[in-house]
Chains A and B, each alone.
Chain A
Amino acid sequence: MLSKVLSLLGFPDEIKRMNMRQVMYQVLNFAMIVSSALMIWKGLMVVTSSESPIVVVLSGSMEPAFNRGDLLFLTNYEKDPITVGEIVVFKVEGRDIPIVHRVIKVHQGDSNDNNSVKFLTKGDNNNVDDRGLYAHGQVWLRRKDVVGRARGFVPYIGIVTIIMNEYPELKYTVLALLALFVLFNRE
């Protein structure tokens, strides 16, 4: 049955040469490709000091600056202070979704301690500030909630990610096809 699927995909003779070493080599080849992507992502994490160096804008709350589907590049260097007017990506405690909004007020706190800064955010396209989005009882955001500061962006490319997340079957189909292709293609 597997041979029929493979013939359909265009690999008629792959079954014949499936001795142990070849199988291991193909699996390792696939693992190398996945590892390369993983290592590039981790490398970016280290270089930018941010736990999520590339994010996709998920809502229209920052229009006209950022539209839904834009890809943002973030950095999160400790020594850069957060100032009013910057666009930051933060995560509210207890929730996983990163939010991209602009800082509108900064409460300086102890000037020696960068981590005591408190700030308030608001989306450009929203009418009210983000206090409604914060955790229950939370009135200000702290430095540790910040994932990074926006440093650059690429428009519209992130739409692919949004579509993949809304239709997970599509994501699994694409991944399965890619895996089959890499595993059974002899170089």
Chain B
Amino acid sequence: MDEDPPTVNKWDGNAIKNALDDATKSVMMNNICTVECFRLIDGRLIISSLAVGFSLFALGYDYWFPFPLSRTILMVCVVCYFIMSAILTWHTSSVEKGTFATVLNVDPSGIDPNDSWSASSYLKRFDTVYHLTLTFKCGKTKQQRESTTAMAIERYFDVNGKLLYDRVSR
């Protein structure tokens, strides 16, 4: 870790999960490869931007052409907005599935497609066991290998996050 391990409120499950996620990500960046793949986050950003775009367009149109004239446009924009929201929810729950970091193992010769390691995690509410899943996708053969560990979070925190992150990368 380059900087001091962050201090988190040890009773706040969400903060703990975020701290563990960040730590795992920095271990992956240091040990495996330093190129991070932002495809999933970018997907989310694009869908949200589109949705906000629809609502801003509706707002502007209604401002310039007050209500009865703007009726059709408003209807279209509202429906599109909610469709985009549904797409976003679908994206978050089924495409992402808790993945928080994807690292690309860039192939040095540049010919074969890249391999990727991705990590996803979940921590149930009020539970003390943190589940981490590492997935390795081979670029060439498109095969996947997975390994899952479940760790009790008490091992990693006393008052601060500690430097036992290396165990995570195994």
Contact = CB atoms under 8 A, between A and B. Distances in A.
Contacts of B48: 25, 28-29, 31-32
A79 interface: no
Nearest to B18: A186
* Central interface residue in B8, B56, B67, by most chain A CB within 10 Å: B67
Interface residues of A, number: 23
Contacts of A31: 48, 52
Contacts of B7: 12-13
B81 interface: yes
B161 to A, nearest CB: 10
B121 to A, nearest CB: 14
A51 interface: yes
B114 interface: no
10 closest Cβ contacts across the A-B interface? Answer: A35-B55, A28-B48, A51-B67, A43-B78, A31-B52, A39-B81, A13-B6, A46-B75, A42-B74, A39-B78
Interface of B: 3, 6-9, 14-15, 18-19, 22, 38, 41-42, 44-45, 48-49, 51-52, 54-56, 58-59, 62, 66-68, 71, 74-75, 77-78, 81-82, 85, 88
Interface of A: 12-13, 16-17, 21, 24-25, 28-29, 31-32, 35-36, 38-39, 42-43, 45-46, 49, 51, 186-187
26 contacts: A12-B8, A12-B9, A13-B18, A17-B22, A21-B38, A21-B41, A24-B45, A25-B41, A25-B48, A28-B45, A32-B85, A32-B88, A35-B51, A35-B56, A36-B85, A39-B55, A39-B78, A39-B81, A39-B82, A42-B77, A43-B75, A45-B74, A46-B75, A49-B71, A51-B66, A186-B18
Given A25-B44, A36-B85, 14 more contacts: A12-B8, A13-B6, A13-B18, A17-B22, A21-B45, A28-B49, A32-B48, A32-B52, A36-B81, A38-B58, A42-B62, A43-B75, A51-B66, A51-B67
